[in-house]
Structures are given as structure tokens and as C-alpha cells.
Amino acid sequence: MRLLPISQCEPGMRLAKKIFSEDGIVLLGDHMELTSRLITRLEQCGVQYVYVEDHRTEDVTPPSIISEETFRIAIKEIRSSFREMMDRPKKAKGATYPYIAQPFKQMMNLIIDDLANHKDAMIMLMNMGTVDHYLFQHSLNVCVYTTLLGLSSGYSREEVTTLGMGALLHDIGKTQISTSVLQKPGMLSMNEFELMKRHAQLGFELLKDEPNLPLIVAHCAFQHHERLDGSGYPRGIKGNEIHDYAKWIGLVDSYDAMTTNRVYRSPILPHDAMERLYAGTGTLYEQKMLQQFRDKVAIYPIGITVKLQTGVSGVVVDLNNSYPHRPIVRVLNNEAGEQLKAPYEIDLSKQLTMMIVGVNEIETDTPLVSGI
């Protein structure tokens, strides 16, 4: 299978992976033939990339870092609990609300069990083929990515559970922000931006008294936009004043925000997101954390089309865990763009002078060499 931008999909192509609705229901199944109408509808729903069938890469199957069942359970619980939070301002004073700690801990157990069974798993894009509210999907993405980093850092299960809960609930304060601001397609006004920034404080207020929830989870919501040099918000704290959990979550939050579709802009690919994160080394993000994150991210997702400096192009078919920025590429087209009768593979971890210079037919003047 291949991973294509929806803009490059053509009628007659067939889906290689399901498309899910926001309720976890299958909207389009495997092998579904795409029509002009379906492609347009997927674009309107914010789906930016889909996996399509290609006989030249029929043996390529990107791994899932959590199971389909865990995904469905998690997104359903997130949606239910967050919507309950969204309704709080509308309810009468003194109304009672369900506690969120227990169901979210059960969810974390499922996620940790899935990830523990895939100790060499790489951080793969999770938002492919899902039609959903950004806040719900983003919260799950950040939770899964951060939990994987916690496991690879040697944290205990209890520590990983707390870190994962902090990641899962880091943006809970946004449930108290008006949807007209949250989903505004254009640039926020200064007043709207100040209102948006309040979500960190609001998240802390929502979580600090939640029964059976460690207080550090509330502080993760409070601190995830703080930065090493004090340029973050809401308090402008810096360095060691910021809890390590919040540092991890702030890093992953930035990455997922860049690689996920937003109402005001399209997503960028992982290699571009990592370049931007590295621009903040030592000022916004801890260098050691960035390096560890880099080593766990599939910068070039399996199935993506890449162009090499020699002019040939092909599809990423496998990853090198020790060198995630240098994948294995199956070359499908020659320098003139003509299909090869006999595709061949290049392992970029063994061909160190070979560089990727383009992704999805978009070329870059700067090959990825800046620390990545």
C-alpha cells in the first residue's frame, strides 16, 4: 500500500485502509473504490492522507502501535468525557458530574499493554483516515506518543500511567473555550488568542480536585505550554521549574499540532515538523528529550513517496530503528519519472551519501541533515 495526499488521489484508486468516523464507525472499508465525489467528501471532512492499494507495494503494511479495538475504546471515552466537560458551563450550579480518573486509568492500561507488546515501535502518524474533532484525536495522539516515550525512558508502569494521563488531559481546558474560537478558520485576534491561552489555567482548575487523579496530572495541563527560556505561558516559568512530564508533553503536543490537520492550515509531514522542533533546541525544548524523541519518530512514514538526489523516486517500505531518518526505499520510477519494470530497494542506512530531497513530489533545497 501507499500513503498519498488526498490531493493526489484519483478516481479508480482503491483504499488500502479503513476510514473511520468520529464515533469509531467504519465509513469506508478496505478495497473501496474512490470516486470524485468520495475524494471531495474526504477533503471536506479534513482527511489529508489515505492509504491506497498499489500492486508494486502490496506487501507493505504500516504497523499500528495500538490495536484497532484500543483505538475505538479510547476515542469513545475521550469524546464522552470531553463532551461532558464542554457541557459543564451550561448546567445548573451544584450539578454533579461523573469522575474521569477511573475510566481513563482503564484506558491507559489498554494503551500501555499494547505499547509494551511492541517495544521497538516507532511513533507513526495516527491521524490517517480518521474523521474526528481535532481536540479528541489530538489528545489521544499526544497520549500514545508520550506514553511510548515514557516506556522507552525506563519509567515504571505507575509513572508511565501518570505521564500518559497528563498527556491525555493536557488540553482538557479547551473544553471551556468557545467553539467559535477553537474552530475559527482564520487567524485569532489578540483578544481571542489571550482567551485561548487560558486553557492551561482552566485545565489545571478542572483537574486539581479530581478524585483519584494525581496532582501532577493537573500540573501537566498547567505547564505544557511553558518553555525552557521562559517564553511560554501562562506563568513564564523556565528550566527546572517545569516538570519533566510537562516538558515531554509540550514537545509531543507541538509535534502533533504540526502534523495534524487544523481548521486554519493543512498538516506538515514528520520530517518538516522535526526540523522546526530542532530550531528550538535548548531554548524551547530539552536537547536530550528532542534527541530521544527523534530516535522514536518515523520521520518518513511507511508508504510515503520520496525522491532521492539521483532523481529516482519510490516508496518507503520499511524503517531502520537505529536510523529512523534513513529508511528503506523501494525505487519505482527512474529519473524521467517512468515506471521501472523491475523495482529495487535501497537501504539508506547503508548508502550514507544518498539523500532524500523530496516528499510527495515536493522537493526541498535542504536535505535533512541538521541533527536529524
All 3 cell numbers of residue 283?
531554548
With contact defined as beta carbons under 8 Å apart, do 204 and 179 qualify? no
Whole-number Å distance between alpha carbons of 246 and 319? 29
Mean pLDDT of the chain: 86
Q: Give the type of residue at 305.
A: T
The arithmetic mean of pLDDT across residues 41-61, rounded, is: 88
Query: Is residue 367 a contact partner of residue 357, using CB atoms and an 8 Å limit?
Result: yes
Query: 169-197, pLDDT tens digit by residue?
Result: 999 999 999 888 888 877 889 999 999 99
What single letter denotes the amino acid at residue 341? Answer: K
Please give the C-alpha separations between residue 298 and each of 139, 166, 211, 270, 273, in angstroms, as whole numbers.
Answer: 20, 23, 37, 7, 12
Question: So what's the pLDDT on residue 366?
Answer: 41
pLDDT digit string, tens, across residues 123-135? 766 655 555 567 8
Q: 342: part of which helix (H) or strand (E)? A: strand 339-347
pLDDT over 50 (residue 370): no
Which pTM does this prediction carry? 0.84
Q: How do residues 203-239 score in pLDDT, each as one tens digit? A: 999 999 899 999 999 999 999 999 999 999 999 999 9
Confidence of residue 367 (pLDDT cuts 50, 70, 90): very low
